[in-house]
Structure 1
């Protein structure tokens, strides 16, 4: 595909935190094998100065430079913006999505998509009514490495029938030292590890156990416990149990310990797979160990990643929108709702509450 025929998206960026900095840097990468073209047209920040500093620090060489605004409304309504990327804290996702949709813009919203499944359904209903594309930014699902792993597990059955998965994401975040208004401490902002990082552990459990997504996938039984600190979870353990087959995934998160690079193990009747990377959100390799080989040497797979890996979801969205699709086949609306319902149930059992639950 020539560069002239590549689909193009013009982005408006909402919020200027860490995840937004990763996203704009990936959009601006020079990639000879890029599957789409991306331009950053506008950036909305909490202040003009903060927005300008964001551009200067992270994308100083992008030309033409994006327009910077103090606030978000001008980004939502910017005539040169096709799609809005939302990188605000969880609690603001719903209102940010609804505002962008009302302006007729497509939306890519960071995970967790909303605070609960009820709010996610409201956003998708608005998107359907307006006829725009919306997707939760579960970027990990779009890594070629992850999709290769899924093919090997579910189509080639390289380890036979998968019966158990362990997946963990832990960070040493020292919650006690954080102020009460921190997005990691404030329940009103969706604080705690479940929505922030356990969503990735859950994703690995689902990727390994489910060949399908959304409405076509089985809904596992949820068993969950949480360790609470000032009403938010500093550790969560969620078990996904499939009564039809007995297979299960143990998905964990903690704010008290950094997970080692090997963060996931997938066990099957004919072998097992280990997955590694700096985080469960950003895998870099997996290794397949066959039961009948009688050796500790496995077959290792890697895929080059010149940036953070966020550009793969952006490229996929560009193709979806160019084709007139309103949701992604990789991360459809029903899959976001399915996972949000799992996390709602995990909080119900574990005890972590948000003000919007009342």
Structure 2
């Protein structure tokens, strides 16, 4: 068996903030790396933008810069395409990359709705390529350890209630009409941008299952809208055993560092971090016994955990990941669809 790390050559689509975080993390030198990641190509709306992106975020590296996405899809030296465009473009970007025979890692939310996601997965199945939603939070060692502690070790007994909030002060009113945070045609609103994380924490902590093995909770939702965009969303999940998830997102103010509280029959767990997307520690407070804090600080931001998982999956000739399988992406989007159905948000292409 070879001890060499698998090598994955990435083509990066779009040069916004999320793409900058992703490539900087992939370029980090890590002793525990499970794969070698090469930023092979960058696609942008212009060569100048692509070159400036590479110089700023990948100093000393020389990826191929393309003034279009299509050239990235057609580059024979690119194994996988990372899609960091606004939500509304994800479906078409995925379909174009898949058509070119490329593997895909696409930012969340994977598409605007479950129907579009199913279309992408059907295309991937036909082409036999690996596709995954880039829900990076699920791949963090903290998340995996927390899930084990809750569902296998029963550290706080039976989970009865979970509260999670992801709030950012985004000052939506001050943004221009074409901002991805303000334009409904781009999937704007707190729900798909940050509410998806609050929902994810509810699902991860209330249910040991994933995708086809998960339960289907009832959902009650309300949204505060302005010009068709949700400034705040609230979701209540109700499970058959009576457990509840109260999950919120808002653009009015930043959440405090303890963003999630998991209440069980034998104690409480509090999860902390700069944001619900980036947990760094959790504290277990049992009704009997010592309070314990588990710290999971790591270099960079932690996008490399999902990237390593992708590389190992592709090396194993898998088209789906066990942590974020296609059925789980679809299930999350179906829940988000229902939140919007109850809350009143409809995207232009759905009319």
Shorter chain as denominator, the TM-score bin is: over 0.9
Aligned counterpart for 1:348 among listed residues 313, 335, 341: 341
1:222 is aligned to 2:219? yes
Quote the residue 1:51 is aligned against: 50
CA distance in 2 between partners of 1:266 and 1:228 (Å): 29
1:150 is aligned to 2:143? no
Quote the residue 1:332 is aligned against: 325
Quote the residue 1:108 is aligned against: 105
User: Secondary structure at the residue paired with 1:166?
Assistant: strand
> Given the two structures, how large is their TM-score scaled by the length of structure 1?
0.97
The runs of 5 or more residues in structure 1 that have no matched partner are none
Deviation at 1:353, TM superposition (A): 1.4
User: Secondary structure at the residue paired with 2:273?
Assistant: strand
Deviation at 1:356, TM superposition (A): 1.8
1:90 is aligned to 2:52? no
CA distance in 2 between partners of 1:187 and 1:111 (Å): 16
Quote the residue 1:20 is aligned against: 19
CA distance in 2 between partners of 1:290 and 1:216 (Å): 28
Aligned counterpart for 2:263 among listed residues 260, 267, 289: 267
User: Secondary structure at the residue paired with 2:195?
Assistant: helix
1:185 is aligned to 2:178? no
CA distance in 2 between partners of 1:7 and 1:249 (Å): 39
Deviation at 1:304, TM superposition (A): 3.0
CA distance in 2 between partners of 1:39 and 1:237 (Å): 40
Quote the residue 2:244 is aligned against: 248
Aligned counterpart for 1:305 among listed residues 281, 298, 323: 298
Cα contact 2:104–2:131 (8 A) shared by 1: yes
Quote the residue 1:123 is aligned against: 120
Q: Deviations over 1:228-265 (max 9, x none)?
A: 011110000011111x2011101100000100111000
CA distance in 1 between partners of 2:291 and 2:283 (Å): 6
CA distance in 2 between partners of 1:151 and 1:318 (Å): 24
User: Secondary structure at the residue paired with 1:218?
Assistant: coil
Cα contact 2:281–2:297 (8 A) shared by 1: no
Deviation at 1:292, TM superposition (A): 2.1
Quote the residue 1:278 is aligned against: 274
User: Secondary structure at the residue paired with 2:133?
Assistant: strand
Quote the residue 1:5 is aligned against: 4
CA distance in 2 between partners of 1:303 and 1:195 (Å): 26
User: Secondary structure at the residue paired with 1:343?
Assistant: helix
User: Secondary structure at the residue paired with 1:249?
Assistant: strand
CA distance in 2 between partners of 1:326 and 1:103 (Å): 16
Moved over 2 A (4+): none
> Given the two structures, how large is their TM-score scaled by the length of structure 2?
0.99
Aligned counterpart for 1:257 among listed residues 250, 253, 256: 253
Q: Deviations over 1:167-204 (max 9, x none)?
A: 01000011111111100000000000000000000010
